[in-house]
Chain A
């Protein structure tokens, strides 16, 4: 509760955090409402179905962003693609953060041979060139689902989080307050969760944001070369189509520009939230002195 009031307080005082949250909320809202919105755009028809409309219509009041090479409504496509991109970000972000945090805490807190084994393993995964391997994996596994792609991307993105958090754990575990907790009969897990974890929230936040963004862009990268999961349209696939069909020369610029703008906004929003939250994590900045 106290943390909530503090968060509210911080949001009001940090334009950066407020902007970031507003942008992200808007995109999530868009994603959640995407079925409804797509229905509304279709007006009885399915705007994502092939040949629903004329091909290559330029933006007009009927089709705000025009249509693509198959006669689908680009606005509807972009909206549902945003939902897909956010999903992949959430899936991969959560998986890689959880795995990364667990590995980092076990390695950093336990030390010794446990740390050696885990760090070597993390290091090996870090130096594997991710993208070519993802291409190979996607090409090999035909018709992968969105979730499977998310897992595949997470396999290669958790080591980044693990590496940074581990080094922080190493520095925090020798703090006197950890010693004090130990002489107060706190168990290892309790120390990790109650003493170390709260102080590492900024790093975990950064880890989550970068894994999520990495996954979103990883999927875009796969889609751009035509190797995404089957049956879903994400922002990358729209860009892929735009490049492949020379949409820009046909006057269908929204197919190219809108997904890129959305990705940029998402990137900016996550980063702004992260920087803004620093003030919540750090009690010195909570401004409670006068309360």
Chain B
């Protein structure tokens, strides 16, 4: 049961008109291993366009990398046989960023949960399935009566995102790939969401790859962190170490970018985002090129 997700040398290019060479490199030489023993939270931090979501899509098998491999249990996820594929799907599940787009507007929200029940054979009868769904909705602090039978547009963003968590609760995957799950939630719901995620880690042993641009949520979740800049993982380590002794200039910049909730501490220095990305392009030596994966 202790299968790992292993990325080695993943590179992802996209065709892009106007870019040098006619393509854009979203991810370059990404290598890391996610292990479910012990269950942990691994955060992947970077700014918009740094390739975080592309890595999530690679891990979820939604996007085949241009080169490099994504392995689950030691086998390339694009070459799994039927049983292995079922196992992989069951154990690697996402929470996506946009709670508005994740539901097909044509159907009621129940469908997402019923689909999980049916596709993964979680229940043998309708009553059993319903009980399971209600239990999972309870686990994410949602009232089944107020959610079931509703259309997506009738729920708030926080409710919708928690329905996705209920889905995770039903499936109990070993790995949760959470791609900016809280970026569109307000502060209070965000906290609730993160707490539920931590509960899942503790109670069901789920390992979470938490993708975000927000270092304060990383700090809250703890565990370890990888910093990605322009498609490259530039720094990695335990959250405490990286947050207090950042070794890469980009990490320092990210840390400086956290607004302090204190009016007296407002923006002591300006952040030059453009300057940094400009020098990175010119080919500054990679301060901490990813050594052996710590995680």
Contacts and interface: CB of A to CB of B under 8 A. Distances in A.
B101 A177 contact: yes
Contacts of B115: 181, 184, 186
B148 interface: no
Given A195-B104, A283-B105, A183 B94 contact: yes
B151 A283 contact: yes
B89 A176 contact: no
Interface residues on B, range: 20 to 34
B109 to A, nearest CB: 11
Interface residues of A, number: 19
B95 to A, nearest CB: 10
Contacts of B112: 180
B20 to A, nearest CB: 24
Contacts of B120: 184-185
A182 B62 contact: yes
Contacts of B62: 179, 182-183
B102 interface: yes
Given A283-B151, A288-B151, A199 B119 contact: no
Interface string B93-112: 11011100111111100001
A179 B103 CA distance: 11
A176 B35 CA distance: 26
B189 interface: no
Nearest to A172: B104
Nearest to A186: B119
Given A183-B60, A284-B153, A177 B116 contact: no
A184 B116 contact: yes
A283 B98 contact: no
Interface in A266-286: 282-284
A284 B105 contact: yes
A176 B96 contact: yes
B105 A179 contact: no
A182 B101 CA distance: 15
Contacts of A182: 62
* Dominant secondary structure at the B interface: loop
A284 B107 CA distance: 11
B156 interface: no
Contacts of B106: 198-199, 283
A179 B106 CA distance: 16
A127 interface: no
B89 A177 contact: no
B165 to A, nearest CB: 13
B199 interface: no
Nearest to B86: A185
Nearest to A201: B106
A199 B86 CA distance: 28
B277 interface: no
Interface in A145-186: 175-177, 179-186
A7 to B, nearest CB: 14
A175 B151 contact: no
B66 interface: no
B94 A179 contact: yes
A289 interface: yes
B105 to A, nearest CB: 6
Contacts of A177: 101-104
Contact of B102 (A176, A185, A198, A284): A176
B216 interface: no
Given A185-B120, A195-B104, A180 B154 contact: no
Contacts of B86: 185
A184 B61 CA distance: 12
Nearest to B115: A184
Given A184-B115, A185-B89, A185-B119, A289 B103 contact: no
Contacts of A186: 115, 119
Contacts of B107: 198
Contact of A180 (B57, B102, B151): B102
Contacts of B116: 184
- Residue among B86, B97, B119 with the highest chain A CB neighbour number at 10 A: B119
A177 B99 CA distance: 10
A238 to B, nearest CB: 43
A179 B96 contact: yes
A276 B266 CA distance: 55
Given A175-B101, A183-B60, A289-B154, 20 more contacts: A176-B98, A176-B101, A177-B102, A177-B104, A179-B57, A179-B94, A180-B96, A180-B112, A183-B92, A183-B94, A184-B115, A184-B120, A185-B89, A186-B115, A186-B119, A195-B104, A198-B107, A199-B106, A283-B105, A288-B151
Interface of B: 57, 60-62, 86, 89, 92-94, 96-98, 101-107, 112, 115-116, 119-120, 151, 153-154
Interface of A: 175-177, 179-186, 195, 198-199, 282-284, 288-289
29 contacts: A175-B101, A175-B104, A176-B101, A176-B102, A177-B101, A177-B102, A179-B57, A179-B60, A179-B62, A180-B94, A180-B102, A182-B62, A183-B94, A184-B89, A184-B120, A185-B86, A185-B119, A185-B120, A186-B115, A195-B104, A199-B104, A199-B105, A199-B106, A282-B105, A283-B105, A283-B106, A283-B151, A284-B105, A289-B154
